[in-house]
Structure 1
């Protein structure tokens, strides 16, 4: 038996690889960035080969950091940005164009039509809200609009996948075309009760089953690496899981009622509901968290499309900051946001509103507004969005959520997590290991091959990094939050404006 497990997380901003030992300690890590492409307003794309190359580089760097040979890897677990959708040639493995990113909004008209026609029927079957994020709408768009995809479909050579399937295909040298039930659950194509493809949805969207990957559990033998693709070694890929479910697992969130929020490019609040499936409600959807040994764990999730991406915009779009660390430093230098509220609705606003026509806005700007106020307002916006999502989840489940665990790149900011605790009124905990997606994927793979006995064993090793206690009075908390709610209301529907003016 090998001495270590490798966990890989392929996210919107890059790929991370962790090498983990039996005590669930991270011995080494490797990271490699990837770019996004924005060819049109509302369109978000990534290059499939760049995603693969970044993943390969991250693994290579982790092995070098650990100073171990590849033959000491016992198993590999994969975590991935969900919903990002691509198609490729079964015969050559060549992608057809770029992958359509999960934030992409080109399928909004299709989703509006489906919502009007199907009502809640799709949600009851799949656990999902009908949103442009869903891979099903992206696949339908490709089949309808991409001539390369249409030609390959006619020749019976077209394959579809989310990024987990693409990574597995390449790792296995083109031998395996599969996904897991956690990734499939948020595509809109998987029945939440049977964990099989839902024929009602496939028929509605004219999606042929021949292009779809096989759905498996989250901890299974998905195949072996091709030695030519993985440093000369044949290693089992034994776990696949969507990044947000993986992060909850990496946070030790294996018991019902436990919750985490990930502050990445977007923000994702996920609560474990155990074996109970709860139908989606306005602003919340119900993903499969993972399935191990035939036992399914369900969750409840709220998604904000833009969180850390707002800091990236301050850097690359406006040139106000050099990086997110400078944004946090500037935010801490001012006493407050100076009355500024920043609604980062670059592609609409997410949970609990899901208003595709909302647009990014800043309110309260005066001549006294500085870079620090704007940076602070951008960080505060992440916490306000999470407060809205937590309130919705509390109302839906009746679970009080006495503590929130936080991860993701922006969660390294002490300012953000303290503000989050203050505006929520509950403690926020940050773990020692921040790369929770890669860690959760490693846990599943290790359990599958017997490296660890159970998920309970892996969760017992979760270690607190820092705990942030709320400091504000309830009245101050409510006053600040009321300003955010007003800003959200005023940003609604702005995208419906005619060129050159308001509606």
Structure 2
């Protein structure tokens, strides 16, 4: 039976699992990869640690088994530059939450370049995307641009970095789904775009080769024999495939460090006029599928903050019972804009707040407000997508926060849609397994739990109005 080693390199941890052809999961391993954030604008990781932790979990999951294929899914946009000769990074990895490219983004919005960017990439002028981070590094590290222009340096998102190491420096490649998140790749022509490269000051020599998502990206010899790497997808695109969202309008949202709503568009791209993103969902056998996406920058981070910085909970699971112990939120709202606000606001300078505090406010209210925030942010994304003509009838959820029954029910109540939670929440890994098998539509989990709206209209409207006031205060 075919065995696929799936590497799932996320923002807070890196994981590996063995899947077989029917997409059932076997051995699994996971290790943390710490974030380094000395200030709100700086979010980094040790790129070498990303690789060593990933290698370790892959070896643990494989356990000497015969591996037939490798699939990779990864945190997107995170930017790494390394020396081609030594294979060593020249700087820490700039994580997708890093905001040091905000000044360039603001300039592009005012001078009209954002329109060019959006037309070619489907993205907006925000430091979330790799091109802004790459520009910051090239302009702020002495001699870096010259070395890149001489062909001495390689740039890649996390998938490229992992493949470079898995193939022992033989392959510098990426797939179309990850390339589409760099702000350097024209998603309509399928090429690195010369005008965009000039706009960001990026030498073409440092860029990886872009391939179909189900290509053979290279050969890995680290797990016994020669094992082909046969699939790559960015994590949110992988979750879309894992959730089997193949029909136009079928949608999922993944609640991890951030929250990412993605709706399938099929082969017809559609630019948003409401601050959503157009992206490549996958490129299989030369056929490009597109998706519309809304990105929330902070979701699970709010729960981590409650645990690690405030000490209100000792683990994420406690939040469900605490939130459920209250009849309502007591008028308390938490906007987790720790690193700015993503869609549909795209405000890099916004910062978080808690409002509506009273003498009767307890820690349970704060915990509940942190959970509710992701539901309200999802409502904002769905409202924007509806204005773009994207009709979503059922929302499929996955990721760590989806384990929380209170949250899933509150989400259904606020968005007014049925929420479907699969039995296996590891949809990013399942999507990577699917693409490694060729990316066909025959696979996918059908076992799910449904959460249907129960809240009355008046209460729902009151809650949403309270959220809108909180957002308005954040944006002041």
Q: With structure 1 as the length reference, what TM-score do the two structures score?
A: 0.92
1:110 paired residue among 90, 104, 107: 104
Task: Extract unaligned runs of 5+ from structure 2.
Answer: none
1:351 paired residue among 334, 343, 356: 343
Residue 231 of structure 1, CA deviation: 2.6
Q: Does the CA contact (< 8 Å) of 1:180 and 1:215 recur in 2? A: yes
Residue 22 of structure 1, CA deviation: 2.0
- Distance in 1, matches of 2:459 and 2:312, equals 29
- Distance in 2, matches of 1:251 and 1:236, equals 25
- 2:152: which partner in 1? 157
The reply to whether residue 169 of structure 1 matches residue 164 of structure 2 is yes
The superposition leaves residues 64-107 of structure 1 with CA deviations (integer Å, 9 ceiling, x where unpaired) of 4xxxx332x21111110000001000001001121001001111
Find the residue that maps to 1:32 and give its secondary structure. strand
- Distance in 2, matches of 1:13 and 1:50, equals 12
Q: How does 1:249-398 map to 2 (within 5 A)?
A: 249-398=241-390
- Distance in 1, matches of 2:154 and 2:198, equals 18
- Distance in 2, matches of 1:131 and 1:282, equals 15
2:122 paired residue among 113, 127, 131: 127
The reply to whether residue 456 of structure 1 matches residue 450 of structure 2 is no
Task: Extract unaligned runs of 5+ from structure 1.
Answer: 448-453, 494-503
Residue 311 of structure 1, CA deviation: 0.7
- Distance in 2, matches of 1:425 and 1:282, equals 20
- Distance in 2, matches of 1:150 and 1:353, equals 32
Find the residue that maps to 1:466 and give its secondary structure. strand
- 1:138: which partner in 2? 133
The reply to whether residue 416 of structure 1 matches residue 399 of structure 2 is no
Residue 282 of structure 1, CA deviation: 3.1
Q: Write out the 4+ residue segments of structure 1 that deviate beyond 4 Å after TM superposition.
A: none
- Distance in 1, matches of 2:258 and 2:144, equals 29
Q: Does the CA contact (< 8 Å) of 1:74 and 1:236 recur in 2? A: yes
Residue 34 of structure 1, CA deviation: 0.8
2:79 paired residue among 78, 85, 91: 85
- 2:238: which partner in 1? 246
Residue 21 of structure 1, CA deviation: 1.5
- Distance in 1, matches of 2:241 and 2:114, equals 32
Residue 50 of structure 1, CA deviation: 1.3
- Distance in 2, matches of 1:114 and 1:354, equals 13
Compare 472-481 and 214-223 and name the one that shifted more. 472-481
Q: Does the CA contact (< 8 Å) of 1:8 and 1:442 recur in 2? A: no
- Distance in 2, matches of 1:97 and 1:327, equals 37
Compared CA separation, residues 119 and 138, structure 1 to 2 (3 A): closer
The reply to whether residue 101 of structure 1 matches residue 92 of structure 2 is no
- Distance in 1, matches of 2:272 and 2:388, equals 9
Q: With structure 2 as the length reference, what TM-score do the two structures score?
A: 0.97
How many pairs are equivalent?
475
- Distance in 1, matches of 2:136 and 2:2, equals 45
- 2:394: which partner in 1? 403
- Distance in 1, matches of 2:15 and 2:59, equals 11
What's the Cα RMSD here?
A: 1.4
- Distance in 1, matches of 2:265 and 2:322, equals 39
1:481 paired residue among 439, 443, 464: 464
